[in-house]
Amino acid sequence: MQPIEKLPHPVQLRGSPLARWVLALFGWRVRFDGLPALQGVFAVYPHTSNWDFIVAILAKWAVGLELNFWAKDTLFRLPGFGRWLRWVGGVPVRRHAPQGVVAQVVDGVAQARAQQRLYWLGLSPEGTRQWAPGWRSGFYQVALRAGVPLGVVSLDYGRKVVNATTFMTLTGDAEADFANIAAVLAGVQGKNPALAAPIQPMPAPPGAGKRTQ
């Protein structure tokens, strides 16, 4: 396993005291020291409950981060809720066809970099609240192709801490990169621990890559 590169945090933000107060009211706190760059990707883990979204949104407001995130396209069709979801940073994605969105986001990151504009994307690599055999690759593809830092965010219900202090530069060696991510997230406990996916690339489905006769 390669050592995790410690990136400086030159980009500082001002968050909401009200959001921090609400989190503290329920025993939660946020660890956040700033950002290493104006653009990047957050991988948020684990995602095992609807409560994760509420905790994550409050944490986002608490640190003052304008953060975009992917959500199922069907959620945006709900009257009122879809509009609110866009307001808080949601971007509709078809769960089984995210490839086109990856290219769009990479282009968006390039535009933000050219304009020296803040642009961070927060993703749940599991892609579902139910158990999955691994992580989907969208977060990895965006960070690697755009050449931006990856922030590893943990929603730790055991300690009631949202930790967003670790950032790394992906190498393109998925095995080594996932090993580093797993080391950062060791001991983190989700709301429903049994539903947390193992920290590894999503295995290929049975028969994938086989030629038909």
Q: Reduce the secondary structure of the chain to three states and give it as a string.
A: CCCCCCCCCCECCCCCHHHHHHHHHCCCEEECCCECCCEEEEEEECCCCCHHHHHHHHHHHHHCCCEEEEEEHHHHHCCCHHHHHHHCCEEEECCCCCHHHHHHHHHHHHHHHHCCCCEEEEECCCCCCCCCCCECCHHHHHHHHHCCCEEEEEEECCCCEEEEEEEECCCCCHHHHHHHHHHHCCCCCCCCHHHCCCCCECCCCCCCCCCCC
Q: Look at residue 99 in the predicted model and tell me its pLDDT.
A: 59
Question: Do residues 158 and 188 make contact, with C-beta atoms less than 8 angstroms apart?
Answer: yes
Question: Do residues 75 and 81 make contact, with C-beta atoms less than 8 angstroms apart?
Answer: yes
In a domain, 80, yes or no: yes
Show pLDDT as tens, one digit a residue, over the chain (213 residues): 555 555 667 788 888 999 999 999 999 999 999 999 999 999 999 999 999 989 999 999 999 988 887 777 777 777 877 777 777 777 776 655 555 778 888 888 999 999 999 999 999 999 889 999 999 998 999 999 999 999 999 999 999 999 999 999 999 999 999 999 999 999 999 999 999 999 999 987 766 555 444
In a domain, 210, yes or no: no
Q: Which residues contact 170 (CB under 8 A, 6 or more apart)?
A: 140, 143, 144, 150, 177
Domain count, the chain: 1
Q: Look at residue 212 in the predicted model and tell me its pLDDT.
A: 43
In a domain, 2, yes or no: no
In a domain, 128, yes or no: yes
In a domain, 103, yes or no: yes
Q: Look at residue 19 in the predicted model and tell me its pLDDT.
A: 95
Q: Look at residue 67 in the predicted model and tell me its pLDDT.
A: 85
In a domain, 86, yes or no: yes
In a domain, 5, yes or no: no
Q: Look at residue 71 in the predicted model and tell me its pLDDT.
A: 72
Q: Look at residue 79 in the predicted model and tell me its pLDDT.
A: 82
Domain at 126, CATH number: 3.40.50
Entry pTM: 0.84
Please tell me the distance from the alpha carbon of residue 153 to that of residue 185, in angstroms, as a whole number: 8
In a domain, 136, yes or no: yes
Which structural domain, as residue segments, surrounds residue 44? Answer: 17-195
Nearest to 124 by CA among 81, 159, 93: 93
Residue 151: CB atoms within 10 A of its CB come to: 24
Q: Look at residue 196 in the predicted model and tell me its pLDDT.
A: 97
